[in-house]
Structure 1
């Protein structure tokens, strides 16, 4: 099941669309591991997605 993270919509809406999609992908993967709460997963995912995006931009 993919999580929608509706409670974090405002955090996600402020992101670049590519970063938002990557953050959702990462957060869903983290939630499948069941090691993280939803808040922890989305916070970590946003950070990782931003790093991913900046790496792409070089």
Structure 2
């Protein structure tokens, strides 16, 4: 299975520390570009909750 990772638009042109996301139905995968071997798998509701929490300043 080939996973297509997408970098955050906030990572800038240098691409240093950034979060990457991939969709592997029915879940989403998250990883940090500096530690690509550490992957978090989330259900859609979990990803929505995480994003909501971060936007709220969590």
Do they superpose with TM above 0.5?
no
TM-score, structure 2 as length reference = 0.32
User: Which has more helix, going by share of residues?
Assistant: 1
Which structure ranks higher in relative contact order (CA pairs < 8 Å, sequence separation ≥ 6)?
1
TM-score, structure 1 as length reference = 0.32
